[in-house]
Amino acid sequence: MNEKYLLRLQEDLRLKNFTQNTCDDYYRFTKRFLEFTGKEAMSITYADIRRFIFHMKDNESKKASTINVYTAAIRFFFEYTLGYVWDPKKIPKMKRDRQLPVILTREQVGLLIDSMDNYKHKAITSTMYSSGLRVSEVCRLRYEDVRRSQRMIHVPLSKNRQDRYTILSDRNLEILTEYWYRYNRPRGWLFPSTVRDEPLTTAAVETFIKDHARALGLPEGVTPHTMRHCFACHALEDGISHTFIQQLLGHRSPNSTDVYLQMTSKALMGIRSPFDTFEKMGMEARGDGR
């Protein structure tokens, strides 16, 4: 029923020059929305969109951030593919909870990486942590992106459609080199999937990271992105400048990097609580032991 609109959506997304991940997500989310309504696209109303949002929130317990991405996809479809004028007052952006991400200690990160028997998994995890990469970025690395002599990793067209370079640690280079020899010296995708000429999927990485962290009894909520968070926090603790970390992570705004400042143990070290400035109270103050 809506195949022609979905084909047009794919064209519009390509014309907009979104990243492939964004194109795939917007297409998938819009298709799911259309299937939920069971209507022809041109007959869909704001009431249908609101009903879909409440369904995701109440029946599927999706987070506000996820619902907002769905809404952005539907809005793009309405504005660019159908040519409608979007009224944001009728579909307000959902306020997100600002939860701090899970941060592992260095010992926990080391345990996670060192205990991986699968060397491909070990190489992927160590690269995300040692270079601060997103899971989508590590999956799409090619052999030539690892600049061994310069100790750098080239990250092509990341989330913000910009190239950048990040660091390549000596220890991670050793792991990558061993992986490369063990896995038939891949020359295209650095981490290929079992499908010919395709990179490993982000879903596959998420599955093995979560499973391994759970098996080790690490804190709840460990995901591939946890490695990136840990890189940023541990680098701050080591005295690396906020600005340099922002560049390594590929953040356009310093606000995206600021969240790590309050999560480092070093940020709280040396800060004296006002309570410690009070005169001694209680038993010591009375001097009678009661």
Packing angle, helices 46-54 and 64-76, rounded to 10: 160
Contact criterion met (CB below 8 Å) for 210 and 222: yes
End-to-end CA gap in the chain = 82
User: How many of the other CB atoms lie within 10 Å of CB of 59?
Assistant: 8
Contact 169, 131 (CB under 8 A): yes
Side-chain-side CA neighbours of residue 167 (13 Å)? 20
Torsion of CA 224, 226, 231, 234, to 10 degrees: -160
Close Cβ partners of 108 (under 8 Å, ≥ 6 residues apart): 218, 219
Residue that the structure tokens 């080199």 belong to: 177
Q: Where are the beta strands (DSSP E) in the chain?
A: 146-147, 152-155, 164-167
The CA distance from 230 to 25, in Å, is 26
Q: What is the rounded CA–CA span in Å between residue 135 and residue 214? A: 19
Number of C-beta neighbours around residue 42 at 10 A: 10
Positions annotated as catalytic residues are 134, 159, 225, 228, 251, 260
Q: Which of 178, 191, 179, 190 is nearest to 146 (CA)?
A: 190
- CA 20 to chain CA centroid, Å, is 15
User: Tokens for 101?
Assistant: 């991400």
